[in-house]
Amino acid sequence: MRLPVALGHLFWVAALLVLAIMVGAAIGETSISLEVVFQVLANKLWAAGYVLDPIDEGIVWNYRLTRAIVAAACGAGLAICGVVLQSL
């Protein structure tokens, strides 16, 4: 079954957004791999039970992930403002 074009694009945009947030959470002063970021998310959201360094887990969950989510929300807000200004 083929998805309508809009749903297919929506899936890819959502996947890119999740990937961008994960990469944003991995980039910082200390090097944390994407695998560790995924494991932290799995532990916090689904109680996966990965054994992680508490320092890395705290850095990703308390600092980097919040920074990446706020950056995505700010970008979405700026995009909406741009659409509204162009429609005037």
Task: Provide the residue range defining the domain that includes 25.
Answer: 17-87
- Chain-centroid distance, C-alpha 45: 13
Residue type at 2 in one-letter notation: R
Record the pTM.
0.77
Please indicate, yes or no, if residue 10 is contained in any of the structural domains: no
Q: List % helix, strand, coil for the chain (3-state, nearest 5).
A: 80, 0, 20
Q: How confident is the model at residue 8 (pLDDT cuts 50, 70, 90)?
A: confident
pLDDT tens per residue across span 40-58: 999 999 988 999 999 999 9
Give the angle subtended at the CA of 56 by the CAs of 74 and 40, to the nearest 5°: 70
**Could you give the number of structural domains in the chain?**
1
